[in-house]
Amino acid sequence: MNILQVLPELNVGGVETGTVDIAKWLTGHGHKCVVVSGGGRLVRQLENHGITHYQVNVGKKSPLSIITSIKALKEIIKKEEINIVHARSRVPALAAFFAARAMKRPFITTAHGYYSKHPFSGIMGWGRIVIVASNVMARHMMENFNVPFDRIRLVPRGVDISRYHFNPDISKGQKGGDYTIGMIGRLTPLKGHSYFLKAISIISRTMPHLKVLIVGNPPKGREKYREDLKLMSRRLGIGNIVEFIEHSDDIPQIFNRLDLLVLSSIAPEGFGRVIIEAQAAGVPVVATRVGGVVDIIEDGLNGVLVYPRDSQSLSEGILKVARDRAFAQRVAQEARRVTEEKFTLDKMCQQTFHVYEEVLSRQNILIIKISAVGDVILSIPSIRAIREKFPKANIKVLVGVKARNSLKGCPYINETLVCDFDGKDRGFIGLLKLSDTLRKCDFDIVVDLQNNKRSHLLSFLSLAGLKFGYKNRKWGFLLNRGIKDSKDIIGPVEHQFRILNSLGISSADKKLELWPSKEDEELIENFLAASWVGQRQLLVGINLGSSDRWLSKRWPLINFARLCDELSKRYGARVVITGIRNDMNAAMKLSGMTKSRPIIACGKTNITQLAVLMKRCAVFVTGDSAPIHVATAVKVPYVALFGPTDPRRHVVFSPEGAAAGIAIKKELRCSPCYRPRCLLNYRCMKKITVDEVVEAAGKLLKLSQN
């Protein structure tokens, strides 16, 4: 396994130390790790362990620097045969993301800091997997950067326990020397040094033998902050007991001098590595309740928690530990036990390695089918075939809001993504927001089964490495694995299977499926019981129409009324009328035209409930709409009435194990026209007679009874 880690620099800090620790562990376990940074004092550690380091200015924010970094990273990925790109900071992550995309390598991130809610920070949520060190960081990335829960992995930071001498039996201050309190970390206002110094000024009045160490360096360009703190300590009258020390690589040696560590941060900490370092060394910790600190310290058991920005509370916490030797020893011993159990370096590295393994073994696949309900049902054989080809993949399907229930309970997918082009995803801005959601899912493969301009654009904007579909005149050039469409008249499933051939899927089962729940079955059972339908009652289903757009697919309402009466008269059948809520007025009008008084179910079922209702029918009659495919999926014989469309392109005729289907169509010179409205008075539908439909239904009834 070859891993590339990218970060701004390799100087002092938890991010830098963790990067070096992972690199050493991987190398020691027979893997290869390459690190890219702007350089720093820790580069020598990498080189001493035979770890390759490239110095690239990946931490600069200028567009030119980012473009230059992308080019350099692409060359490194190719030269070092990198398998995974792992970014550990925001600016380098941007260049690393596009380099990984260009080279078709998985990209992951570790979100170290409690980032402000800013668009630029969102890059840390773009990883296929986002590693966080604490539960607080996990919630932060989900709530503020919309990172899905299933892409977050909790990997607490760890320390090398063997480097720390643990002896909590007696403090150095209680041997007659100074009682030494320390703060270790970057010198920035967010660490709360001013509140710490004020707390020290309070306790110094009652603790004569007190020594304070402030260890750390300010960020580049902000060196004045150290001088400000020195001035503040003098003004508080504690300048003689406070010592400022530049950061040392030998942190265990610093802890050998300390009786107590204080972390007085005023902003949420992503984790708090220095806490577990102190606990490994047997040094009690007093810390503020911020961010990931609460994941490490349980107040009163393995440390003491105080409120941030409160010097009085901080001083009381310090005195609680300093004055009670037995309490300090209990806290230190419990802290060491918890550190050994949860926060060791080996555990952190193993968990990170498991993330790498997961990323390499699991591909992210998006299937796009954003059309009508029936078309989504027709895509199920393709979805099933893709799952069989990629059994470990994370497969998501993008569907329209009206078809959201079509894949309910589908065992072949991990998630259904829903778009609404008449609502939240309306217009160009809505499309961009939707594409941003897709991009964050970090797809390797997009299979575009919709094949229109909108779906091709979404495929492209997802930034997936491989994009499959038809290269048609509807912006098919945006697909890098598109195939040429043909004019052959073939069924809808076979048409999709041609795309699957490009993925190495040579043949597949055409069977349609739906997955109604027990709740769906109970609802339909109660509905039929309320309509006085017995278990032996012969039911025939009739679907009145199609979508509001396709008026040309509708059979005259008077014909449906006559059909209801004929089915009742000849076969003793009870008719149930199905359709969407908009069909209710037509259904009520039809009911008034009949003598048989059919059951009205329009608008009372979703697609899976309709499937249960249709299974109860001996025959189903419908125009060219979704119920054809529902009937096929649940193996119910059907009569389909076609006018402006060609049944050979839209129907799955009797796949193995399915019930029979009869399509009735009149051949006219103008048909098939594929026009939603007709200038010739809808002749193709009106020429279909009631007797023809009754005869076809009778044939199917006889077949089902034999």
The three-state DSSP-derived secondary structure of 679-690 is CCCCHHHHCCCH
CATH entry 3.40.50.2000 includes domain 518-705: yes
Question: In sequence order, which residues have a C-beta less than 8 Å from that of residue 558 and are 6 or more positions away?
Answer: 593
**Predicted local distance difference test score (pLDDT) of residue 657:** 42
- Among residues 388, 389, 408, which one has the least CA distance to residue 397? 408
H or E element, residue 662: strand 661-665
**Residue 171 clears pLDDT 60, i.e. is over it:** no
645-672: buried (b, 16+ CB within 10 Å) or exposed (e) per residue?
bebeebbbeeeeebbbbbbbbbeeeebb
Specify whether the backbone of 104 is left (phi greater than 0), alpha (psi in -120 to 50) or beta.
left
What distance in Å separates the CA atoms of residue 266 and residue 439, rounded to the nearest whole number?
34
Which two structure tokens, joined as six digits, stand for 387? 């799952």
- Among residues 434, 448, 435, 446, which one has the least CA distance to residue 369? 448
Mean pLDDT of the chain: 88
Long-range contacts of 432-439 (CB under 8 A, 24+ apart): 432/461, 434/458, 435/461, 435/462, 437/146, 438/366, 438/398, 438/462, 439/126, 439/463
Residues of the chain with CATH 3.40.50.2000: 2-154, 161-343, 362-501, 518-705
pLDDT, one tens digit per residue, over 182-214 is 999 888 898 999 999 999 999 998 888 899 999
Q: Which range, 73-77, 189-193, 661-665, 695-699, has the best average confidence (pLDDT)? A: 73-77
**Predicted local distance difference test score (pLDDT) of residue 169:** 57
Q: How far is CA 684 from CA 147, 624, 677, 695, in A?
A: 52, 13, 12, 19
Contact 659, 635 (CB under 8 A): yes
Looking at residue 607, its amino acid is I
pLDDT band at 655 (very low <50, low <70, confident <90, very high): very low
What distance in Å separates the CA atoms of residue 246 and residue 41, rounded to the nearest whole number?
13
Contact 684, 661 (CB under 8 A): no
| For range 283-290, the mean pLDDT | 92
Q: Which of 89-98, 107-116, 327-336 has the lowest mean pLDDT?
A: 107-116
What distance in Å separates the CA atoms of residue 77 and residue 93, rounded to the nearest whole number?
14
| For range 411-415, the mean pLDDT | 94
CATH entry 3.30.360.10 includes domain 362-501: no
**Predicted local distance difference test score (pLDDT) of residue 174:** 46
Contact 78, 56 (CB under 8 A): no
pLDDT band at 368 (very low <50, low <70, confident <90, very high): very high
H or E element, residue 523: helix 518-530
Angle made by CA atoms 291, 293, 297, in degrees to the nearest 5: 145
Contact 304, 320 (CB under 8 A): yes
**Predicted local distance difference test score (pLDDT) of residue 286:** 95
Biggest CA pair distance of the chain: 109
Angle made by CA atoms 14, 182, 205, in degrees to the nearest 5: 155
Which two structure tokens, joined as six digits, stand for 184? 């270790």
| For range 315-337, the mean pLDDT | 91
| For range 305-322, the mean pLDDT | 93
Strands (E), 44-100: 52-55, 84-87
| For range 24-40, the mean pLDDT | 93
Query: Helix 193-203 and helix 311-323: axis angle, to 10°?
Result: 50
Contact 405, 607 (CB under 8 A): yes
**Predicted local distance difference test score (pLDDT) of residue 54:** 95
Tally Cβ neighbours within 10 Å of residue 408.
15
Sign of CA dihedral 386, 388, 391, 395: positive
What distance in Å separates the CA atoms of residue 148 and residue 441, rounded to the nearest whole number?
8
CATH entry 3.40.50.2000 includes domain 2-154: yes
Tally Cβ neighbours within 10 Å of residue 62.
10
H or E element, residue 467: strand 466-470
Helix (H, G, I), strand (E, B) or coil at 657: coil
- Among residues 414, 416, 465, 368, which one has the least CA distance to residue 151? 414
User: What pTM was computed for the model?
Assistant: 0.69
- Among residues 68, 115, 91, which one has the least CA distance to residue 6? 91
**Residue 173 clears pLDDT 50, i.e. is over it:** no
CATH entry 3.40.50.300 includes domain 161-343: no
**Predicted local distance difference test score (pLDDT) of residue 547:** 65
pLDDT band at 675 (very low <50, low <70, confident <90, very high): confident
Which two structure tokens, joined as six digits, stand for 204? 């110094």
**Predicted local distance difference test score (pLDDT) of residue 548:** 66
| For range 354-377, the mean pLDDT | 91
pLDDT, one tens digit per residue, over 520-579 is 999 999 999 998 888 888 999 999 876 667 788 888 899 999 999 999 999 889 999 998
Helix (H, G, I), strand (E, B) or coil at 647: helix
pLDDT band at 134 (very low <50, low <70, confident <90, very high): confident
What distance in Å separates the CA atoms of residue 553 and residue 685, rounded to the nearest whole number?
7
- Among residues 323, 335, 326, 213, which one has the least CA distance to residue 284? 335
| For range 223-237, the mean pLDDT | 91
What distance in Å separates the CA atoms of residue 16 and residue 53, rounded to the nearest whole number?
13
